[in-house]
Amino acid sequence: MIKAILKEIYSHRDKNRAKASVWYFKTGKGQYGEGDKFLGLTVPMARKIASKYKNVSLKEIGVLIKNEIHEVRLISLFILMYKYKNGLQDGKEKVVKFYLKNTKYINNWDLVDLPCCHILGEYLWQKKDKKILMKLANSKNLWEQRIAIVSTLVFVKNGDMKPTIKLAKMFLDHNHDLIHKATGWALREVGKRDLSELHKFLEKNISKMPRTMLRYAIEKFPENLRKEYLRK
């Protein structure tokens, strides 16, 4: 089955798009995606292939997620996402354990952002379990930290702002732009559902917030209010 999946993936390669992806996902020396390789598949195509092979085993997904090609890893995560969605409770737990065991291969922002809410976020919300979020947030791995903050979006969607606010406070002095962006995005979602909670966070922490985090958090504010916050 692995050979069939890889053959189909490679049949959709696009050299021009792959070349653009090498730049877009920052694969140069010292950049966050250093050394990553691309075939140039679109996300819709990746989803389509994943849907076709959604019944493969965790063992087979384990082979795919270790592949050096970015889109192969993305497809493995989409398959995992489908497997979680369609699984019974014990199956969901196995998927989450597999996901957490393989975070070292989830090593770019799209690999984090597209599947994590549908797997880890949903699971932790259902379990009312925030310990794993804190463990990931305290990791020294950039991508595990991003998994943590992005996964809190499921809590926000369900009316619980506390995990996002707690992690946002932790990340105020983080040194990476990718965490600033993700945290600002999560705070923006808090504001959509509880504007007073976001205002409260901003008033307490604006002097310490990285500017990128602030800009993302207030992106949907009226222009005059946005400018007022940016002046502080």
pLDDT in tens, 144-196: 999 999 999 999 999 999 999 999 999 999 999 999 999 999 999 999 999 99
According to the model, what pLDDT value does residue 130 have?
87
DSSP per position, the chain: -HHHHHHHHHHT--HHHHHHHHHHTT-STTSTTTT-B-----HHHHHHHHHHTTT--HHHHHHHTT-SBHHHHHHHHHHHHHHHHH--HHHHHHHHHHHHHTGGG--SHHHHHTTHIIIIIHHHHHHT--HHHHHHHTSS-HHHHHHHHHHHHHHHHTT--HHHHHHHHHGGG---HHHHHHHHHHHHHHHHH-HHHHHHHHHHHTTTS-HHHHHHHTTTS-HHHHHHHHH-
Decide if pLDDT at 229 tops 90.
Answer: no
> 115-232 has which CATH code?
1.25.10.90
Decide if pLDDT at 200 tops 80.
Answer: yes
How much of the chain exceeds pLDDT 70, in percent?
A: 100
Q: Which residue in 80, 148, 87, 69 sits closest to 115, CA to CA? A: 80
pTM for the full model? 0.94
CA 178 to centroid of chain Cα atoms: 10
Query: Looking at residues 120-149, what average pLDDT do you find?
Result: 95
Q: How confident is the model at residue 11 (pLDDT cuts 50, 70, 90)?
A: very high
Decide if pLDDT at 90 tops 80.
Answer: no
According to the model, what pLDDT value does residue 10 have?
95
Contacts of 137 (CB under 8 A, 6+ apart): 145, 148, 149, 167, 170, 171
**CA distances (Å), 64 to each of 68, 132, 138, 163, 188, in order?**
9, 25, 28, 32, 34
- Phi then psi for 29, rounded to 5 degrees? -60, 125
Decide if pLDDT at 30 tops 80.
Answer: yes
Decide if pLDDT at 232 tops 80.
Answer: no
According to the model, what pLDDT value does residue 180 have?
98
On the question of a common fold for 1-106 and 115-232, the answer reads: yes
> 1-106 has which CATH code?
1.25.10.90
Decide if pLDDT at 87 tops 90.
Answer: no
Domain residue spans of the chain: 1-106, 115-232
CA distance 19 to 5: 22
According to the model, what pLDDT value does residue 128 have?
81
Q: Pick the residue with more confidence: 104 or 128?
A: 104
Decide if pLDDT at 88 tops 90.
Answer: no
For residue range 154-167, list pLDDT tens digits in order: 999 999 999 999 99
Query: Looking at residues 21-26, what average pLDDT do you find?
Result: 93
Decide if pLDDT at 65 tops 90.
Answer: yes
Query: Looking at residues 68-76, what average pLDDT do you find?
Result: 98
